[in-house]
Amino acid sequence: MARALRVALALLFSIPAWAEGPQPPRSGIEFQSADVRAMQADDFANPATLWVDRGAALWKSPRGERNVSCAACHGDAEKSMKGVAARYPAYVESLGRVADVEQRINACVVDNQKAPALPWESQDLLSLSAYVAKQSRGMPVAVRIDTAASDFERGRRIYFERQGQLNLACTHCHDASWGRTIYAERVSQGQPVDWPAYRLEWQAVGSLERRLRACYFGVRAEMPPFGARDLVALELYLANRAQGLASMAPGVRR
């Protein structure tokens, strides 16, 4: 009895106060078929490796009016970018707002390289974000919400809000129905790990924003534009829901 109580208490306190959503959080890869899981597990089979390689080359290429490379300031990405993606979205002082990894990279492209922002879902931006995200492989999601409280609340509100012609909220699928099959797909907990990811359906790597837009489309709701505050706020809410879950980006999904 005493032992059962101790175990129960240990479990209770091992769940941090901020934990929301299913406990323990489970990565979306667990809900994918065996062939997709095998593709993600093997860099030679994972098509996203092409984007990572391209990102590694871009990292060293000078760009913009300043003609400087990312490496000129940040050095070896394997060291300087280790754990960075796991902390995003985050409040960025120089932007005065919460940004996701793609927006943080673009802030450097614009402010530090003095080059035009890389367009959303462009090969250059996806390659750089895949390369940066890879440096956090196996590291647990660890976002801060104290410096981004209003965006966090915004993301949480949207997560529970019914949307579109199907009148469904994120929570209806990703909390109430995970593990079930909808539209021939096994629904996961909607965790944001492993992104950017190669989707077989897209035949390409895409950002988490693109994935979220696909969920809006799925319920026949108007999709927020790329970079919209609502999408970044949702990413932050999802990341907080996933605290402690390891990301294996860039991943593979159906």
Binding site for ligand HEC (CB under 6 A): 28, 31, 68, 70, 72-74, 84, 104-105, 108-109, 112-113, 128, 132, 159, 168, 170, 172-174, 182, 185, 187-188, 190-192, 194, 211-212, 215-216, 218-219, 234, 238, 253
> Smallest distance, Å, CB 185 to ligand HEC?
4
> Smallest distance, Å, CB 35 to ligand HEC?
15
Taking a C-beta distance cutoff of 8 angstroms, is the pair 148, 236 a contact?
yes
Please give the radius of gyration of the chain, using alpha carbons only, rounded to the nearest integer. Answer: 19
Length of the chain: 254
Structure tokens at 88: 């995003």
> Smallest distance, Å, CB 165 to ligand HEC?
11
- Which one of the listed residues 70, 170, 173, 215 is annotated catalytic? 215
Q: How far apart are CA 11 and CA 138, in angstroms?
A: 23
> Smallest distance, Å, CB 25 to ligand HEC?
11
How many other CB atoms are found less than 10 A from the CB of residue 26? 17
Q: How far apart are CA 88 and CA 144, in angstroms?
A: 8
Residue whose CB is less far from ligand HEC, 19 or 68:
68
Nearest to 103 by CA among 115, 89, 114: 89
- Is 73 considered catalytic here? no
The SS3 of residue 89 is coil
Structure tokens at 30: 């667990």
> Smallest distance, Å, CB 28 to ligand HEC?
2
Residue whose CB is less far from ligand HEC, 4 or 165:
165
How many other CB atoms are found less than 10 A from the CB of residue 246? 16
Structure tokens at 76: 């070896």
Residue whose CB is less far from ligand HEC, 42 or 201:
201
Residue whose CB is less far from ligand HEC, 126 or 170:
170
Q: Which residue has the tokens 């489309």?
A: 217
Quick one: how far is CA 209 from the chain centroid?
8
Nearest to 90 by CA among 46, 149, 31, 47: 149
Residue whose CB is less far from ligand HEC, 14 or 94:
94
Q: Which run of H or E residues covers position 218?
A: helix 208-218
Residues known to be catalytic: 215
